[in-house]
């Protein structure tokens, strides 16, 4: 091959690679790439929204629903739905990752952020853990800093509609960064405590933290 021929080939190669760069070739494409990186290991995406619970879906009407926020807090409160909705409202778009391996992208929630609730009740310095108690007897636990993270909320709406009874309405917890069993449906009481207390699944072989990115499924 002469130097001239080599030069032509190089120029063509460079031109092709420049074109790829412009087109972002060999990169999966922004959409696919985002997809790849938002699916935790071992999960698969679903478009529907499966229902998972202990088989009892308590019938708590919007008029009956009451939430008690107590334990190691300066200002314990009891809230009706009307009172919850009178607090500052927030919206959040987040993905659901269930330990049974389904993930559902882009769930649009409305409700009250955990930060708003924390500002209202003012946890004492010794408070380190948060225990959720639900109307069906279910419990689950997270560290206080996990509860205080971005996107964590008490949600009353999903995709612009009140959360249905089968999905935990009138009000459920949403903790998007962790497996969905940490997100209590039909939430009844939020307890701030010094000591951790494993919840329903945490006592039955499931991981105490439940970070899907680390595949913390089981104990
Ligand atoms: N009160 C209550 N909350 C609960 C549960 C439950 O049985 N009772 N199941 C958990 C589990 S294992 C999952 S995967 C999600 C399911 O929520 P979904 O039915 O809205 O999909 O709720 C979590 N929160
Ligand atoms: Mo689950």
143 lines ligand 1 (CB under 6 A): no
User: How remote is the CA of residue 210 from the centroid of ligand 1, in Å?
Assistant: 14
Q: Which atom of ligand 1 is nearest to the CA of 54?
A: 7
Nearest to 76 by CA among 153, 191, 193: 191
What is the topology classification, in CATH, of domain 3-28+36-52+59-214?
Answer: Sulfite Oxidase; Chain A, domain 2 (3.90.420)
> What sections of the chain are H helices per DSSP?
3-23, 30-38, 81-86, 114-121, 144-147
User: How remote is the CA of residue 197 from the centroid of ligand 2, in Å?
Assistant: 19
User: How remote is the CA of residue 99 from the centroid of ligand 2, in Å?
Assistant: 5
Count Cα atoms within 13 angstroms, Cβ side, for 88.
9
- Residue 128's contacts (CB-CB under 8 Å, 6 or more residues apart) are 143, 144, 193, 194, 195, 196
Contact (CB, 8 A) for 197 and 131: yes
φ, ψ of residue 84 to 5 degrees: the values are: -65, -40
Long-range contacts of 162-167 (CB under 8 A, 24+ apart): 162/62, 165/57, 165/59, 165/60, 166/51, 166/53, 166/57, 167/49, 167/51
185 lines ligand 1 (CB under 6 A): yes
Confidence (pTM): 0.86
Strands 102-113 and 44-45: parallel
Q: Is the confidence at residue 212, as pLDDT, over 50? A: yes
- Length, in residues, of the chain: 219
**Ligand 1 site-directed mutation target among 48, 50, 52, most atoms within 8 Å of CB:** 52
Q: Which atom of ligand 1 is nearest to the CA of 96?
A: 21
What's the gap between Cα 174 and its chain centre? 5
Tell me the per-residue pLDDT of 143-181, one tens digit each, with 9 for 90 and over: 999 999 999 999 999 999 999 999 999 999 999 999 999
181 lines ligand 1 (CB under 6 A): yes
Tell me the per-residue pLDDT of 51-103, one tens digit each, with 9 for 90 and over: 999 999 999 999 999 999 999 999 999 999 999 999 999 999 999 999 999 99
User: How remote is the CA of residue 161 from the centroid of ligand 1, in Å?
Assistant: 19
Helix (H/G/I), strand (E/B), else coil: 135: coil
pLDDT band at residue 37 under the 50/70/90 scheme: confident
Nearest to 211 by CA among 178, 171, 185: 178
Reported in sequence order, the residue ranges of 13-114 that DSSP labels E, i.e. its strands, are: 44-45, 66-71, 77-80, 90-97, 102-113
Q: Which ligand is nearest to the CA of 175?
A: 1
Q: Is the confidence at residue 4, as pLDDT, over 90? A: no
Report the nearest-CA residue for atom 24 of ligand 1.
Answer: 184
188 lines ligand 1 (CB under 6 A): no
Report the nearest-CA residue for atom 17 of ligand 1.
Answer: 52
Which helix (H) or strand (E) segment holds residue 72: the answer is none
């Amino acid at each position: 091959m002469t130097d001239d021929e080599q030069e032509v080939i190089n120029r063509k190669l460079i031109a092709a690679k420049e074109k790829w760069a412009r087109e972002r070739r060999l990169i999966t494409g922004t959409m696919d790439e985002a997809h790849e990186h938002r699916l935790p290991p071992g999960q698969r995406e679903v478009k529907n929204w499966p229902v998972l619970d202990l088989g009892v879906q308590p019938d708590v009407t919007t008029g009956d629903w009451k939430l008690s926020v107590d334990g190691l807090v300066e200002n314990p409160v009891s809230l009706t739905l009307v009172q919850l909705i009178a607090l500052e409202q927030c919206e959040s778009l987040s993905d659901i990752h269930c330990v049974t391996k389904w993930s559902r992208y882009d769930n649009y929630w409305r409700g009250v952020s955990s930060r708003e609730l924390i500002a209202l009740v003012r946890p004492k310095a010794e408070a380190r853990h948060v225990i959720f108690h639900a109307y069906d007897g279910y419990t689950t636990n997270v560290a206080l800093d996990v509860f205080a993270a971005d996107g964590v909320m008490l949600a009353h709406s999903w995709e612009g509609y009140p959360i249905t009874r089968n999905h935990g309405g009138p009000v459920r917890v949403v903790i998007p960064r962790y497996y969905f069993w940490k997100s209590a449906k039909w939430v009844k009481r939020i307890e701030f405590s010094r000591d951790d207390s494993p919840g329903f699944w945490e006592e039955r072989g499931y991981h105490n933290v439940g970070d899907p990115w680390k595949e913390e499924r089981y104990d």
